[in-house]
Amino acid sequence: MNPITELVTGPRCLARGFSMLTQPGLRRYVVIPVAVNVVLIIGLVSLLGWQVGDWLDAWLSGLPNWLAWLENVLWWLVMVLATLAFCYFFTLLANLIASPFNGMLSSRVEQLVTGRTPQTRMSIAGEIWDGVAGEARRLRYYASRALLLGVLSLVLLFIPVANLAIAPLWFVFGAYMLAFEYLDGPMGNRGWAFEAKLAHLQARRTRHLGFGALVTLMTAIPLANLVVMPAAVIGATLLYLDTMGSAPSD
């Protein structure tokens, strides 16, 4: 498989997701995720304010003299990591709240695109519970991997040049996790086990990484982040169908 083609497949599907947001039959499923995003963004920005820069300056001013050479590197590094952390935390929290509705949106997209509705053989209440429980299990999975990456980051922090790899490592990790987050819609609608979902994600890492990378960047853009969640649910569903050979050609 051509790695370039694989890498751009995800962004192409996400672009289609944005274009389908106002499509008849989907709008009702888009309203709730957008409302969740608006409330969360207002809440998180109000909580954090615009004090990140001041907090960083105060923290870095306390560095010992022998670490003064690290100040500029640390300032940019922490700013990048703070932005990524906001994107990931916001996305994971939004999806935890809206996970049942995201599954419904994914199912509706698949019905419109293929004419078929995925069957989980579960009741509506069962699907809602499965969505919330699956989200909680993914959060535990993310947390354990993030802890390992955090330890590695602390080691790299004090190694000149190598510490520049910290932000890219976190970006790749976050992109991969967000791809998992949104692809859970079409996979969960089929009642897949957690291990089967992981295997599917890892089988086509490059295309899923491309998708997650663009979602991460879009989450950091004001206004775009209001609609990125429903667009990503739609895009992930299209990406899944393309991977499985079920999507019609454009």
Residue 159: alpha-carbon gap to chain centroid: 29
Q: What is the distance between the alpha carbons of residues 134 and 167, in angstroms, rounded to a whole number?
A: 28
pLDDT in tens, 146-188: 899 989 998 998 888 888 898 899 999 989 988 998 998 899 8
This prediction has a pTM of 0.76
Sign of the torsion angle spanned by Cα atoms 156, 161, 164, 169: negative
pLDDT average, residue stretch 213-231: 83
Asked which of 51-60, 185-194, 197-206 is least confident by mean pLDDT, the reply is 51-60
135 vs 218, which has greater pLDDT?
218
Tell me: pLDDT of 235 over 60: yes
Q: What is the distance between the alpha carbons of residues 71 and 229, in angstroms, rounded to a whole number?
A: 36
pLDDT at 45: 65
